[in-house]
Every structure is written in C-alpha cells, then in structure tokens.
Amino acid sequence: MKEFFRKYQKSIISYCSVAVVLGLVGLLWMTMGGSGKKANYTGNEKTSQSDYYLPNASDSDSVSVDQMQIERVVVTKLLDIYESGGDWGGESIVQRTQTFMVRILTGPYKGVEAQMSLDLTDMTGTGKGVIVAKEGDRLLGYFVMDYNTYTLYGTCTGFQRDIPLMWVALGFIVLLILFFGRNGVKSFSALIITCVMLIFVMIPLVYNGMDPVLAVAVFGAATIIVTLLMVHGPSVSSLAAGMGAVGGVLTSALIAYILKSVIWITGTADEQAISLLYTDNGHNLDVASIMFAAIVIGSLGGTIDVSVSISSSLEELKGKMGEEITGWELARSGMSIGCDIMGASLNTMILAYVGSSFQLLMLFSAYNISLEEIINNEMIAVELLRALAGCFGLLMAVPITSLTAALLSCKGNMGAFRVKDIKLVRVFSAAGEKLSGAWQNALAEAKKKDSEKQDKSEEPQVNLFEKARQHYDEMQKDKEEKRGE
C-alpha cells in the first residue's frame, strides 16, 4: 500500500484536490438553488405557446410549453407544400408550409406515425434561409394530441445536428488519445469538467440571481485548479501557471469593469440579451454584468495557455541549468519566452473576436458606414472591449508567471538584481548606446573635417605674380640657349 501511494502520490493528490474543488462547487450550486426552474417566455401574446408551435392543434387543446417534450423523428413520406398570405411587421409575407409523415423515435409516442409540418417561410426574400425536408431526414419536433379527432399533430423545430457533431467529437477524442495517451485522456477529462461546470453550474446560478462577477470568479478559479491539477499535476510549474492565470484573468476583469461604465455599455446590443430579458426571471438579470462575466470567461483559456507554456519552459530550463542560473535570469528568460508566445496568442485572440463579428462588419461595409460609426456601435465596442481585456490579461500573465516561477524554483534566492535584467531598461539602454555611438561618430567626423580645413589653411599661399615671372624667366632662358646653339 505504501509503495502504491509512493508511486502514484502526485496523481492521488491531484484527483483528491479536484474532487474537493468539485464538491465545493456542487455545494455552492445546491445552496444557491442552481437547479432552478425552466425559463418561460413572458410575452403578452394572446396566442398560447402550444398554438404558436402547433398551428394545426385544436383550439380546445390547452397544453403548456412545460408539458411539451421535444422528440426525435424520421421523415417517412412527403405530403405537400402549401402557401398562405400573412403579415409580418406591416409587410405582406407569403407563408410556405411543408407537411409530411414521420415516425416518432423517442418519447411516449415512440413508433407512432404522425403528421408534421415544417415552416418554409423565407423571411429574407433571398431563398437562402430555407431547407426543404426529404424522406429519410431526421428532425426534431413537438407533438400535441387533438382529443376531438384523436389525431396526433406535430411541428418541426429543426434538424438533428447533434449526431454528426458527436461523430466529429468522437474522432477528435480518439486522435487525442492515440497521439497523447494518458495526457490526452487527462486533457479531455478536464475539458469535460469545465464544460459541465459552465453549463450546469455557472449559467443556472447566474440565471437564478447570483452575481455574475462572483459566479465567474468561482468558475474561473475552479477551472484553473481543475485544469492544472488534472493535466500537469501538483508541482511548482502548476502553481506558477495558476498564479499567472489568476493574475491575467483579474487584469481582464479590471479592464472590462472600468471600461464597462466609461464607454456606456448596456449589454442589450444583441438579440440574445434582449430575449433573455423576456424570460420569467429577466427582471432580476443584469445583462451588462453578464456581458462582463462573458468577457472574463473569454480571456480565461488564453491566460491558462500562456501561463502553462511559460512555467513549463522555465521548469525545463531550471532543470537543465541547475544552480548556474539565478532567479532574475530565470525571470528574464520567462519574459523572453512570453514575448515569443504573445505574438501568436494576441493574433489568435484578435482574429477570433473579429471572426465572431465578421458578418456584422460585412454588413457595415455593404452600407458604406464610416469607421467612426462602426467603432461607436455598441456591438462592435463590446467586441473591442473583449479583445482589449483579453490582450491585457495575456500581457500581465507573462510577468506574473515568470516572477512566480523564478521565486518558487529558486526558493526565493533570486540572486543579485541587475537593472539591465528588465526588458524595457535593456531596450532603452541599447537605444542609448546606439545614439551615443552615432553621436561619437558624428563628433569624430566633424573633428576630422575641421582638421583637414586647418591643414589646408596652414599651407603657404601661392604668389601668382612670382609664379608667372618664374615661368617667363624660364622661357627666356630656353630661348637664349637655343640662340647659342
């Protein structure tokens, strides 16, 4: 038993720590009533939601949306496509509806044949937003029994897209395990735990009234601890990476919190936020704070990635160099490594945020909207805020991780500090040396030119009259010599 514990000591400590963190998160979830009830739409429409989803159902059939259950179906026979006039926002829209027979695959009506309808109305007028169902297609829909005729009617709510996505995800998992073995399993497990905490813990807690800032703080801390312990285990490198990630996330949160009020963000720039306010708990939600929490979550993954990369590199460097490298030299190496990582990470982050708003930017371009209007648009301002907050988080994660890793690896013995170890000082020092060298060269060149001028001024002045007379005397002498001959 002792041998087993000694062999798997790090793994046991890691998993026990993860279990404690998950237990605390679960306790918080239970205390705050995270399971909450399902959100309902609270519009003022006179039409019931069952009638909205199922226009073929009988008016006497009163079934609330809470009693309805989504079912999986497969199309067995196509029936018809019919058109009818309609009004949408004061404009006349031709409504097209497709009907077909389906076989229900799940639920209490499993195996039953029923008629289902699919809305094919093209709200864009381009014909690109409509997909017509074919035999064999797998769909999702709601069903209601008309007890007057004992006929089952259904309305399609969408196509089954989860199964193809699951196959792709399964392929990714298989390749992850084949390429990275046990570490791949750990990475995937950490990812699953993070997604579960986000979807089933944090989101319900925020919806049930928990402050989004507190919720994202709990979720962020739990994610950092679980990811680092499961993937890297308890080590100096993990602790340094955790400190760097926390510092980066707190920096992102601070930037987002300051700019949120300075640039007048309401949080209602998109349709999802507005729809959220129409739920039965919408009056208790602070959509601006929810947006702030989303910004912090967006910066979490990048800061963890940068921090882990730096701390692992410094741990490897310390293992190779041993006592030959001091703490400050190790920190300086971390800053150099961080500079290389930052170039790619910042580029990735900016492109990710631009990609999320790509269609909106294309729309602005199509209508020739000026750059000033684009930047001052709240949706674009929010994306810029996300990008800036994330970049600040990545930036601050580098020095925090480097210094923490150096302190822990060298056990506080950082060695003699040199001002030149600071990157900024070295840059200014190198620039100063270049300027000083250029100045010295300029002075030397000026002195050389002055010396040349002085040498020329000290040369004896030539008397042109005497020179001409000497030339004349020489000519006369030559003539006399020729006469004598």
Mean pLDDT of 414-432: 60
CA quadruple 465, 467, 470, 475: dihedral positive or negative?
negative
Q: What is the pTM of this model?
A: 0.65
For domain 50-160, give the CATH number.
Answer: 2.40.50
pLDDT (tens digit per residue) in 213-231: 788 888 888 888 888 888 8
- Cβ neighbours for 408, distance < 8 A, ≥ 6 positions apart: 236, 239, 240
pLDDT of residue 426: 63
Residue 92 has pLDDT above 70, yes or no: no
For residue 431, pLDDT beyond 90: no
Report the percent of the chain where pLDDT is more than 70. 78
- How much helix, strand and coil, in percent to the nearest 5, is found in the chain? 65, 10, 25
| Positions of CATH 2.40.50 in the chain | 50-160
Predicted local confidence at residue 292, as pLDDT: 79
For 410, the token pair is 């060298």
Helices 287-321, 327-356: crossing angle, 10 deg rounding: 140
**Rounded mean pLDDT of the chain?**
78
CB atoms within 10 A of CB 401: 33
As a whole-number percent, the residues of the chain with pLDDT over 90 amount to 11
Which among 8-22, 117-131, 161-175, 411-425 has the top mean pLDDT? Answer: 161-175
351-364: pLDDT as tens digits: 777 777 787 778 88
pLDDT value of position 464: 62
- Residue with structure tokens 């709240």? 378
Contact criterion met (CB below 8 Å) for 313 and 334: yes
Indicate the range of 55-64, 155-164, 205-214 predicted with least confidence: 55-64
Degrees to nearest 5, angle at CA 203 with 14 and 188: 35
- The band of 105, judged by pLDDT with boundaries at 50, 70 and 90, is very high
* Higher pLDDT among residues 402 and 25, named by residue: 402
Contact 226, 22 (CB under 8 A): yes
Q: Which of 62, 29, 436 is nearest to 207 (CA)?
A: 29
Return d(Cα 467, Cα 464) in angstroms, integer. Answer: 5
Residue 434: exposure state from Cβ atoms within 10 A (0-12, 13-18, ≥19): exposed
More confident residue, 465 or 129: 129
State the DSSP H helix or E strand holding residue 71, giving kind and residue range, or none if neither.
strand 71-88
Rounded CA separation 224/154 (Å): 45
Q: How far is CA 294 from CA 206, 285, 298, 468, in A?
A: 12, 14, 6, 97
> Tell me, what DSSP letter sits at residue 421?
G
Residue pair 39/281 in contact (Cβ under 8 Å)? The answer is yes
Mean pLDDT for 448-461 is 64
Give the pLDDT band (50/70/90) at residue 126: low
Q: What is the mean pLDDT of residues 197-206?
A: 86
Cβ–Cβ < 8 Å for 393, 385: no
Ordered alpha helix ranges (H), 322-422: 327-356, 358-366, 371-376, 378-409
pLDDT for 175 equals 93
- What's phi and psi for 97, nearest 5 deg? -130, 130
Calculated CA dihedral for residues 438, 441, 446, 452, nearest 10 degrees: -160
DSSP assignment letter at 155? E
Number of other CB atoms surrounding residue 475 within 10 Å: 9
pLDDT for residue 456 is more than 50: yes
Coil, helix or strand for 347? helix
Q: Is a pLDDT exceeding 90 seen at residue 367?
A: no
- What is the mean predicted confidence (pLDDT) over 458-485? 69
What pairs with residue 72 in β-bridges? Answer: 140
Q: 100: how many CB neighbours lie within 10 A of its CB? A: 23
Tell me the pLDDT tens digit for each residue of 54-90. Answer: 344 333 343 444 456 889 999 999 999 888 766 555 5
